[in-house]
Amino acid sequence: MKKEIKVFPDHESMSIAVAEEIINTATSTIEAKGFFSLALSGGDTPRRLYDILSSEGKGINWAKVHFLWGDERYVPWTSPESNYRMAFENLFSKIEIPESNINPIPTNSKDPVADAKTYEQRLSELLNGAGFMDLVLLGVGRDGHTASLFPGSPVLREKKLVAAVTAPKGYKIRERITLTPTAINKAQKVFFLVSGVGKKEIMRTVLKGEEDGGKFPAKMIRPKGQLKWFLDYQAAGDIDFIM
Ligand code: 6PG
């Protein structure tokens, strides 16, 4: 696995750079195999990225792009807390894409375990023939979580691809469905997007040293091909420790 760290002056320039890399990766992957699968991350950091993609991605044949999610809060898709709703508002509502290309995590059966199983089946149907996810976007929480993989969770050692989890006390939405490290590490590429001074401390921990058994789940992410970190100066802090 190739690991690369790119640092940008601010959130905007970071988001523009990630959008360019996604557009390039999607274009070359579609040329090569006629298909591009992209798992979106939630939270606030990628909001602007999705908006930029909607305007700068005009050259992408969206009919060849299949969207998935790295995780979802167990709320209706209409909820302001929904990762699906955030992506719909900032991206899908602004581009021409077949609805069947968008694969949100189901959160409507009132049974997260059953919905996780349904998503695992969808993931396998969609990707088995095509290798696995071409690109997964991820963020990092201040506790080192990524997707909805929280420190010390038993799901970190899960061999399944998708799991229902409960976030630690203090998180507004505790019921979640998430890709497991097993699923994420099957991806060709993973891009982490991390912004803001609030992430400076955790970035020092996550970018230094080796995987530590799930104390900081973001350190468990090792995709088959390429791992790229996109940080702004605020999150990177004094970057000399990184280089
Ligand atoms: C979620 C995300 C989560 C997020 C990090 C960072 O559902 O919240 O998948 O893993 O990426 O918590 O969130 P921010 O970008 O809001 O800091």
pLDDT tens by residue, 200-209:
999 999 998 7
Number of alpha carbons in the 13 Å side-chain half-sphere of residue 93: 8
Whose CA is closest to atom 12 on ligand 1? 141
Residue 3 has a pLDDT of: 85
Starting at the edge strand found earlier in the chain, the sheet holding 175-179 runs 71-73, 175-179, 162-166
Q: Which atom of ligand 1 is nearest to the CA of 45?
A: 15
Phi-psi region of 34 (alpha: psi -120 to 50; beta: other; left: phi over 0): left
Measure 176 CA to ligand 1 centroid, in angstroms.
Answer: 12
Please, which pLDDT band fits residue 243 given cuts at 50, 70 and 90?
very low
Nearest to 133 by CA among 184, 74, 93, 204: 184
- The predicted model gives 205-232 an average pLDDT of 92
Task: Say what the pTM is.
Answer: 0.96
Q: Which of 14, 47, 71 to mutate to test ligand 1, by most ligand atoms within 8 A of the CB atom? A: 71
Ligand 1 pocket, residues with Cβ under 6 angstroms: 41-45, 70-71, 73, 83, 139, 141, 145-147
